[in-house]
Amino acid sequence: MIKKILIIGLLAGVGLIFFDLFNAYQGSEVLGKTGRYYAENGADEVGAANLVTAVIVTYRGLDTLGEVTILFLTAAIISFVLKFRREDFIPNRPVRITSELLDSASQVIVPVIFMVGIYIFINGHLTPGGGFQGGAVIASGVLLMIMANPNFGISHKVIAKVESISGIAFVLIGIMGIFLAGGFLDNRLLGLGNLGELFSAGVIPIIYTFIGLKVGAELSNILGTISHAQNEKN
Amino acid sequence: MEYIIISTGFALALLGLWGILSQKNLIKIILGFTIFNTGINIVMVSIGYVRGKAAPILDVIKPSEAADKIVDPLPQALVLTAIVIGLGVTALMLVYALNLHREKNSLDINSFKDLKW
Amino acid sequence: MVGPIYIIAVALGIAFIMGLFGKSLKNFTGWAMLAGLGFMTYVSGQWLLEFLNNNRAVETIYTAGFKPPYSINLQMGSYEALLTFLINVVGLLGGIYLYKDLKKTGTNAMVVFLVFIMSLNVVVMTRDMFNLFVFLEVGSIATAGLILLDKNGNALQAGMKYLIATGIIAGILLIGTIFAYYFAGSLNIDDILAANLGAAKATVIAVFLIYVSILLELKPFPANGWGIDVYTAANPGIGALVSAASATAMFYVLYKLLPLGGAEWLNYIAVIGGITFVGSNLMGTKQNNPNRLLGYSSIGQIGLLTMILGLSDILGEKLVFVAFGILISHYAAKAGLFWLSGIIKAKDIKGWAALRKSPFLLFLFGTFVFALIGFPPFPSFFGKWELIMTLATGGHWAWMTVILVGSFIEGIYLFRWLGYAIKLDHEELPDFKIEWNKFFPVWVMAIVLYAVGVYVTPMVEGGSFINYIPLMFVLFLFAIDFLPVYIKNTVSIGGIIWYMFHIYPVLEGDLLRLIFAGIFLIGGVLTLMAGYSKKGTRKGFYPMAMMMFAGLIGIIEASTLLEFFFSWELMTAGSYFLIIRGKRSMPHGYSYMLFSIAGAYAILFGFGLAFASGFDTSLAALGSISLLPTLAYTLLAVGFMTKTASLGLHIWLPGAHGEAESDVSPMVSAILLKAGVFGLMILFLYMDRASTGATNLLYVLGWVGALTTLMGNMSAAFQEDAKRLLAYSSVAQLGYILFAISIMTQLGWLAGFTYTINHFMFKAVLFLVIGGIVVKLGTHNMYEMGGMIKKMPFSFVAVLISIIVIGGIPPLSGFAGKWLFYNAILEKGWYFQGAIIFFAGIIAFLYLYKLIHSVFLGQLKDNHRNMKEISAWILIPSYVMIIGIMIFSAFPQYILKPIGNMIAPYFSSEALSWEGTKALTSFGYWDGTTVMIVVGTAFVLLLGWLVALSSKAKKIEQFNIVFAAERPHRPETTHVSYNIYAGYQKALGFLITPFVTAFWDAMSNLVLEVANWLRRIYSGSMQNYALHVVLFIVVFYLIALGGL
């Protein structure tokens, strides 16, 4: 009881902080300094029609590298945390029979999902979307496959290869930026091309492709590991 | 408009916090977390909003007039990063919960008090 | 130069490559991880060297080829280089340490480890607020993973708590960051700092949110249960990294963001740090789990560092030195201790007794504990010194008190732990393996501590004067510790004798110092000689003994406050190790240490006041204390009195001296106690005697001295243990000295000097001889001795002469002391105190009689029938001392006259004059030489007469007496010495009810109870810990911005 009152009191306190923040918030009529810079120079400097992508991949590429690292770490941690002894592994655990709908749908839809995912990350510099979104869409296809067949085994080896090679490629492109352009993760290794075309914005499409593959692989890896973990004897 | 959105964000964050502090089931606490994060993400997006402006994609908008026509792209970029980070943390929490469940066969938060003082 | 960006690029590249080949090439990944860590260390190391050697500008790294604030920039300046280097070194060593554990868990764990260290580098280098957030999250997730390196239920729970708490904190930081962006229009830290967000009412909330989340990451008390559990449950190798690397990085983040809000926020930071420092250490006092204890200590140290940052306005340019000194000590010591904990694998600190199996590890353990508490020559000593001096300069007494109290509390548990390791009786010592990869990193950290300590010494004001030659000698003795006793003994004695020749010209003309130098050095040689009677190697004895003597002589040589304090601490450390060597010395060594630390901090506080009064670093500053002079004098006096064991502060002495080894007892009793006397004399000579404060203080000290004497003598009389009897006698004698010098007249001081010299000589003799006998007979109990006069005639004569001195019986110098003493009392008019002293003097005869009678006279015990005289190596130094006593008795004028002349300028009236060998006062005269001749002649005549008569005496065998038919149940109770003064005890025993001991016991219980009660907040529930975090945020908000 006392705890409940305390929690309510604390939430009221946090609410007060939020309320003060809300009062401090005035909305905006015009772009701030940084936003204005991106709006004015983003197209010329980076060449990506999608300015959010320009910020994510180039201006704040280091954040994105960190972001990729986080997924990479999470996948790595999950696989060593959920590692179990081989003798505890049951290859085919009894599962509920998959409904006809799910089973057929997975076979029809999954390739489409993968295609959509790839489309999203390849066009990340032009339209809303990008590597993370595309990767997540791909992983959702994998999730559908797992749900349709819980004993479906993903090849961790292949996934690990995709993951690592994409990661190495990302870092290497970043380093090449130091030598060939203005700095680590500079996208002007390649010509910026014409704004709005698929082959434009320097290396952004390439980076986003690797990110898409990497994110897709990592998320699939996580899903696979968690699903796998349920094949363990209790 | 933006006031409604930002206050929704604060409300969601508060709701998530309530879940974290009061729920007994570990999974619900983790859900509280995702709600908390979502709320914060909404707050972030609304910070970048500029009244009456469009998304920062230069397909119809010409680059020369972009500065007067688009909202701030930066907070949107930050939100994307924050979402991915939140995803990583949530996945990790779920795996922890899975293992804790294996350990004690319970998801009640009060059954994990072995370390104290 | 390799650019700092490669730290990120190469670490991540290697991490990804490890993922690619990890499954197929197991060995490759291990080496790849170490190579990555090595590379990072190399990059930051070369930058550090560059900044140290060349005065180059800060290097800014622009990513993506654009300028901030539009892109993220990193910064590599001298601080960044230093901190990343520290992080990478501990990362590399930690990687080596954990190599096998990581390998067992697999490639993924190594990847996580490498990325973890990389993320901390970015956290230090980044100048972008959001980038900071991202890499803090990378670090948090990596930590959450590494916690599970040891898969156990506790680690899982700890990791979950960690995730929940850091999740909330990250959310708060995110809100703060986005609002900082909203208000400042930039995410660049320099822009945000320049925007001065603390100034406006609306924008200050962003400042608050950023501060509170960074502070929460530093685990402030009490919202830190989640952090402590990590330390408790994780592999100690991970604990080491969290404590040394993560905390270092977070500390730097706070430093970066310090100017965010303006001056008033600094106060909050300082207060939170101070609460954490004291509170966390208080929690530590009830801990028995080594990892959890280290966790509390870590959080406490980080609290101290947070507080230092909060005080940055006050510290000014000293900030960096102070913070560095304390940070590096914490860093190296904590990493080392966690790693040691991983080697020993004990669940309870008592299990650390196992360390005794490996003296070298024990040495490392001691190094770390002393470094944490801030003993010389470690960097924390200098850091703390500068901190206190600077705070004193600004008049911040409260902060000084918080720091010293917190440090003391930390000492409470660290020294208990060290004591357990050195001395605890432990039936089964757990076995542990020492693998080179675990041993090597610990060793490196110890070297770091010593090297950095010596390196920073000259950076302290007055530090370049510190004389490291004696410490080099100590080091040398460590190096030859494997040699047999007689070699090391000879080397040590040689060293002291060499130092005598070295120091004599330095001190010539300064009689006060010369006398004490004589006591310390001659005493050192003589007591060391007794060491020749020992066999074997006596591991560890000589370095520690020499450290004590180095400290003692350092006090004499000191011309500055810093040198004095440095030597004082050195002496304390050395003597602690000497004292705790005794068989049952653990609790006594512990209480000695606690009193010593408390005393040292009192002195430090007093020195601070002295320094701040006139910015004078020399000892003469004591003479011109204008800030709170009474408090300063009192603190200094109390500090010195912890060493002289005056009433109230004496409870450590009887045990410590009584249980020490036979040749350590004279060292610590006859010699070490005089350090306190020297300190008091210096203080009394310098201080402004005319002030009311000083007069009152002297008056109080006079009473303390008198009562100490009474208590000491009575307690001695009721002892059954011969060495404890002598120990209590020391307490009483020091009481005389304190009383005498508190009189503050020339006569009083002459009496004080006489007592000091006498006590030095006779107590050395007594402890040497009685100690030798105790070892020989195998018992401390006097009623189990008897009849030793025939077996040990030389010992008997030595003890007899000493007793005559103590008793103050003519013709020996004890009488000279008494005569001066009563003259001084009469002159001063302290009649009540004088009466007590007089009464105490009578009681002294009781214990003196008991000592000589029970040991030497009476019946010889059956099991002692074949006893021989004690070792000549004990008798020789004793007789040298006795010759000294005789000379001093017969020709006191050669010493007392110069002393009188020396101290005369300090006192208004010259009360003592000399006519040849005759000393004159207004009350009468005394002539040592004549008395000696007269009494000596009478003695010889009487002795001759007795010898002449002896032919008529009838010889009686020992058993030629009538026995009762029965043997009593406990035969010893019939011994005349057993409870010999039961009657007196009944009548007067109430006077020595151990109420002082009871008082200190109650105090320590109080502290422990408070700690026990407070630590209930750590209920173990992860939800409660989340609650604490939110509570901290809300309360801080209401206090800081509640009026908004």
What's the rounded Cα separation, in Å, for the pair A153 and A219?
15
- What is the Cα–Cα distance from C551 to C491, expressed in whole angstroms? 18
For A100-114, write each residue's pLDDT tens digit.
Answer: 888 888 888 999 999
Q: Which of A28, A30, A51 is nearest to A39 (CA)?
A: A51
Report pLDDT for C427. 63
Q: Which residue has the tokens 């090595």?
A: C38
Angle (CA) C28 C30 C35, round 5°: 90
Q: Give me the pLDDT at residue C358, please.
A: 83
Q: What is the DSSP string of A88-130?
A: GB-SS---PPPPHHHHHHHHHHHHHHHHHHHHHHHTTTTSS--
Note whether C203 contacts A24, CB cutoff 8 Å.
Answer: yes
Mean pLDDT score, C948-955: 77
Question: Is C428 in contact with C353 (CB distance < 8 Å)?
Answer: no
pLDDT at A228: 79
Give a yes or no: residue C804 inside a domain: yes
Backbone angles phi, psi at C921, to 5 degrees: -130, 180
Instruction: Using the predicted structure, report yes or no on whether residue C563 has a pLDDT greater than 70.
Output: yes
**DSSP-derived secondary structure for C150-204:** S--HHHHHHHHHHHHHHHHHHHHHHHHHHHHHHHHS--BHHHHHHTTTTSSTTTH
**Considering Cα of C178, then C184, then C189, then C195, what sign does the dihedral take?**
negative
Within 8 A of C208 by CB-CB distance, chain A residues are 17
Q: Do C141 and A187 count as a contact with CB atoms less than 8 A apart? A: no
> Which of C142-156, C792-806, C899-913 has the largest mean confidence?
C792-806
pLDDT at A129 over 60: yes
DSSP three-state, residue C859: coil
In chain A, which residues have their Cβ closer than 8 Å to the Cβ of B22? 4, 7
Q: How many domains, chain C?
A: 2
Task: Give rounded-to-5 percent helix, strand, coil for chain A.
Answer: 70, 0, 30
List residues bridging with C913 in a β-sheet: C920
For the stretch B70-109, what's the b/e string if a residue is b when 16 or more beta carbons lie within 10 angstroms of its beta carbon? Answer: bbbbbbbbbbbbbbbbbbbbbbbbbbbbbbbeebeeebeb
Q: Is B29 exposed, middle or buried (0-12, 13-18, 19+ CB in 10 A)?
A: buried
Taking CA–CA distances from A186, the nearest residue in chain C reads C64
3-state SS, residue C571: helix
Output the pLDDT for position C575: 93
User: Structural domain of residue C8, as residue ranges?
Assistant: 1-127
C137 → chain A, closest CA residue:
A70
CB within 8 Å: B104 and C153 = yes
Residue to substitute from B12, B35, B95, B109, interface A, most A β-carbons within 10 A: B95
* Residue C394 falls inside a structural domain: no
Give the per-residue pLDDT at C370: 94
Task: Retrieve residue A47's tokens.
Answer: 């060449």
Q: Which of A19, A28, A44 sits opposite B49 (nearest CB)?
A: A28
Angle between helices C359-373 and C436-456 (to 10 degrees): 40
Which residues of chain B neighbour C205 with C-beta distances below 8 Å?
A: none
pLDDT for position C350: 87
Asked if C100 and C92 count as a contact pair (C-beta separation under 8 A), the reply is no
Length of chain C measured in residues: 1044
Confidence of residue C913 (pLDDT cuts 50, 70, 90): confident
Range of the domain at B92: 2-111
Distances, alpha carbon C168 to alpha carbons C118, C394, C750, C956, in Å? 23, 38, 70, 91
Total of domains in chain B: 1
Q: H or E stretch including C924? A: strand C924-927
Cross-strand pairs, C921:
C924
The answer to whether residue C694 is domain-embedded is: no
Which residues does chain B have within 8 Å of residue C160's beta carbon, measured at their own beta carbons? 26, 93, 96-97, 100, 112
- The mean pLDDT of A122-141, rounded to a whole number, is 89
For residue B102, the domain's CATH number is 1.10.287.3510
> Cα dist. C52→A192, C59, C322, C870 in Å?
42, 14, 18, 60
Q: Quick one: pLDDT at residue B89?
A: 94
Indicate whether C824 belongs to any domain.
yes
C1037 touches chain A (CB under 8 A): yes
List all chains that touch chain C, counting a touch as 3 or more CB pairs closer than 8 Å: A, B
Which one of C964, C980, C996 terminates a domain? Answer: C980
Residues in contact with A21: Cβ distance below 8 Å, sequence separation at least 6, in sequence order: B10, C175, C179, C205
Angle of CA points A119, A124, A127, to nearest 5°: 90
How does strand C924-927 pair with strand C73-76?
unpaired
For the segment C546-559, what is each residue's pLDDT rounded down to a tens digit?
Answer: 999 999 999 999 99
Give the pair of three-digit tokens for residue C323: 């913070």
Which residues of chain A does C122 touch, with a Cβ-Cβ cutoff of 8 Å? 62, 66
CB contact under 8 A, B20 and C1026: yes
- Give chain C's end-to-end CA distance (angstroms, integer): 51
Q: For the segment C566-591, what is each residue's pLDDT rounded down to a tens digit?
A: 999 999 999 999 999 888 888 899 99
Task: Out of A18, A40, A63, name the one closest to residue B10 (CB).
Answer: A18
Predicted pLDDT of residue C151: 80
B116 occurs within a structural domain: no
> Based on the number of CB atoms within 10 Å of its own CB, is C239 exposed (0-12), middle (13-18) or buried (19 or more)?
buried
Q: Is the peptide bond before C222 cis (omega within 30 degrees of 0)?
A: yes
Min distance B40 CA to chain A CA atoms (Å): 11
* Region C301-316 average pLDDT: 94
CA B89 to chain CA centroid, Å, is 11
Q: What is the pTM of this model?
A: 0.93
The answer to whether residues B71 and B27 touch, using CB atoms and an 8 Å cutoff, is no
Residue C974 pLDDT greater than 80, yes or no = no
Average pLDDT, chain C: 89
pLDDT at C967 over 60: no
Q: What integer is the mean pLDDT of C533-546?
A: 88
Q: Which residues contact C370 (CB under 8 A, 6 or more apart)?
A: C378, C573
Distance from CA of A161 to the nearest CA of B (A): 20
Looking at chain C, the whole-number percentage of residues with pLDDT higher than 70 is 97
Other CB atoms closer than 10 Å to residue C943's CB: what's the count?
Answer: 10
Contact C1015 B44 (CB under 8 A): no
Which chain B residues touch C1020 with a CB distance below 8 Å? Answer: 112-117
What pLDDT shows up at residue C410? 93
Is C209 within 8 Å of chain A by CB? Answer: yes
Report yes or no on C4 lying in a domain.
yes
Segment of C165-179, C612-626, C649-663 carrying the highest mean pLDDT:
C165-179
Contact A56 B80 (CB under 8 A): yes
What stretches of C5-131 adopt beta strand conformation (E)?
A: 59-62, 73-76
The Cα-based distances of C1004 to C296, C994, C998, C1009 in angstroms read 19, 16, 10, 8
Residue C700's nearest CA partner among C738, C733, C734 is C738
Q: Is residue C22 pLDDT above 70, yes or no? A: no
C154–B115 CB contact, under 8 Å: yes
Residue C964, pLDDT score: 44
- Residues 21 to 60 of B: which have CB under 8 A from any A CB? 21-22, 47-51, 55-59
Chain B residues at the C interface, defined by Cβ less than 8 Å, are 13, 17, 20-21, 26, 29, 33, 36-37, 40, 43-44, 47, 74-75, 78, 81-82, 85, 88-89, 92-93, 96-97, 99-100, 103-104, 109-110, 112-117
| Cα A124 to Cα A120: distance, rounded to the nearest angstrom | 6
Q: What average pLDDT score do residues C316-342 get?
A: 94
Residue among A2, A7, A19, A28 with most chain B CBs within 10 A, to mutate? A28
Contact A78 B6 (CB under 8 A): no
Residue C123 lies in a domain: yes
Report residue C273's pLDDT band, with 50, 70 and 90 as the boundaries.
very high
Report yes or no on B49 lying in a domain. Answer: yes
Q: Which of A11, A21, A55, A232 to mutate to test the interface with B (most CBs of B within 10 A)?
A: A55
Of C69, C135, C208, the CB nearest to A34: C69
Q: Do C20 and A161 touch (CB under 8 A)?
A: yes
Residue C202: pLDDT band (50, 70, 90) is confident
Q: What angle do CA C971, C976, C980 make, to 5 degrees?
A: 115
| Residue C1027 contacts A where some CB pair is shorter than 8 Å | yes
Closest-CA residue of chain B to A196: B59
CA distance C419 to C425: 11
Distance from CA of A231 to the nearest CA of C (A): 20
Which of chain B's residues have a Cβ under 8 Å away from the Cβ of C175?
13, 40, 43
Note whether residue C711 is domain-resident: no
> pLDDT tens digits, residue range C705-748?
999 999 999 999 888 899 999 999 999 999 999 999 999 988 99
Q: pLDDT at residue C963 above 50?
A: no
The confidence band for C1043, taking pLDDT boundaries of 50, 70 and 90, is low
Q: Chain A neighbours among C 486-515 (CB < 8 Å)?
A: none
Q: Percentages helix, strand, coil for chain B, rounded to the nearest 5?
A: 75, 5, 25
Interface of C with A in 144-183 (CB under 8 A): 144-145, 148, 151, 175, 179, 181-183
Give residue C428's pLDDT band: very low, low, confident or very high (50, 70, 90): low
CA–CA distance, A103 with A97 (Å, rounded to integer) = 10
Mutation target vs C (from B101, B107, B116; most C CBs, 10 A cutoff): B116
Query: What's the mean pLDDT in C886-890?
Result: 92
Q: What is the pLDDT of residue C617?
A: 87
pLDDT digits (tens, 9 = 90+) for B3-36: 899 999 999 999 999 999 999 999 999 999 999 9
Question: What values do phi and psi take at A184, rounded to 5?
Answer: -55, 125
What secondary structure letter does DSSP report for C147? Answer: G
C603 assigned to some structural domain: no
